[in-house]
Structure 1
């Protein structure tokens, strides 16, 4: 890091500022140009430009708010309504479902837990003063830890079952009178493997619990895979027993960050509004955590969806599936390596019963691959993009070199 200059005394021209920004962006692009998997959720320069241009046009736009006296921009209002409708349509939501637009999966999960605690068990204290509990598999994303901490709940994590997915029997055994929510992943970020949503929906109905489905990684990918004829299970609120679902536009919707959707029943959505009247100004009411919620990322999501349409998303989904299959075949072609389970989406974990995966991780990083080190089972966490199929053979060759060099 170079030392930052002092705050400027005089301003630059707009052209000079733009030139400096292009230089910074160029540095960022160059820094990852040769790194595999560094361009996460990249659908091509044209899509990225559409996303960026839309975000720039709405850089100063806030989302339409119910706060009295604030302007209600009709353009942003239309963008929000259309995004909500598209999310409901793509995620097979039944009549009576609402879509809340948020800044990302973490905010969506926090609001889902708020909805659970306010509507599913209003005023019902936990036994012996214990906090309300959430049961989740060990593979669940840590955003549920954050939600639990913020809302005074206790997260109970249970071991994953066979296949490294959430185990219905283990989670059922962890249910207590204090349990309020079951949390499952479609897929888990840790392993890239989808939990059996239908089985957990039955479990939630049996015990009268709220079931949240974290579909942040697949929400705007799976619908187009199904359109392509892939056998992708459904996971949304159309399944009886599913109470809420989160899906991110800024992942395989390819929008600017951060934009997400939370789907839940309309009555539950109304119950989670933040409404405050005991202050000098008119009642403040907001639908999400942010008081001033930026609209730029939502405008970006709208723009990319209008640009690609179902045809464009289906093409990208097909390319991503082909890339995943190419990487799986390449990994399995290297003696001693395997792929964890049968991933359906963009995430994949490479494991080995023969090689030291910590050393493999270091060796692959030295060869220009961005992967995360998985602790258990030891492995490499890959986030494969729609345009990454040409990298599969090089990945396999580098795996071979790493283990040969270590021998």
Structure 2
């Protein structure tokens, strides 16, 4: 093993207790998107201790800058910081949690507390190793990833830094503990919102002939859509359809004047996602005509998949396997979405998955589940991978 790799491992081991403590602090704060005030203050405090210049991006995102003073590439390292509006269970899959959210209806059920802690740990190590670096490292802490409400302001703030490369990491309950996947190509799904409101004519439940029921219109739309979807979406493409809400009417004897359906499509081919969206609108309009209703659509909110750049994926796989043999594995693409896709649409880079699954110890509940828990044994691995990737591009 090279001397540099040994130094990275040594420093990561030194800072492992710090990373774990950071994760626990952020977990207890558990703040919703655009309101991560305690989390913001804590991150800022750690940046100031290192004496790094920083920029606060409205409302709670932060960019810290490690400038070596030597010419080289600009590398953006990103972590998200927000939590979910979900009540946390007292236990994970096997027993009591290590730490708990202070907020009764808010918790880190996706792993953003871990992402924040690993980036803070990497920031400590890279600052210690500054003399071995060229160029600039930007430590980007992104607010509001869950609703995609902070990414635009953060990317706008990054424009002046002329970023060359980017790196992001997400803990993953579907992957074994301390395994990492950085496969080239699409690794997380794109998504588009399904949001249709059928407007009909209200009336008494005893005389449906004098009304135009959006309830039957919506029900027929679901049947028509499922048939059209199965027949017209490419057989070689993967597009999932999840209808999650159907709301219409309030009482038993009144036909309402509108009914609303919502859900989402997930896909790895953007064109096929657009095709599914267009098909939805066509079926909705045609079904509405049959029922003497009209169809109104919400915003499309189409987001593409997260796509790893092949060369960067190969580099990441090579250097991480070199420093931590047996770490890199293949992983099937994840059907969840991520705002980090916009980083990769703008900059060359990768998004790594870090496995946390250890069912015997209680780690393995799916993300956005009240029994999801973070396996702290993986935090050092994530910090080492982040530092090693940075060193490969910026090392002197």
> Is the pair's TM-score, using the shorter chain for normalization, greater than 0.5?
no
Instruction: Give the TM-score of the pair, scaled to structure 2.
Output: 0.24
Instruction: Give the TM-score of the pair, scaled to structure 1.
Output: 0.24
Write 1 or 2 for the structure with the bigger share of strand.
2
Structure with bigger RCO (C-alpha 8 Å, 6+ apart): 2
**Which of the pair has more CA radius of gyration?**
2
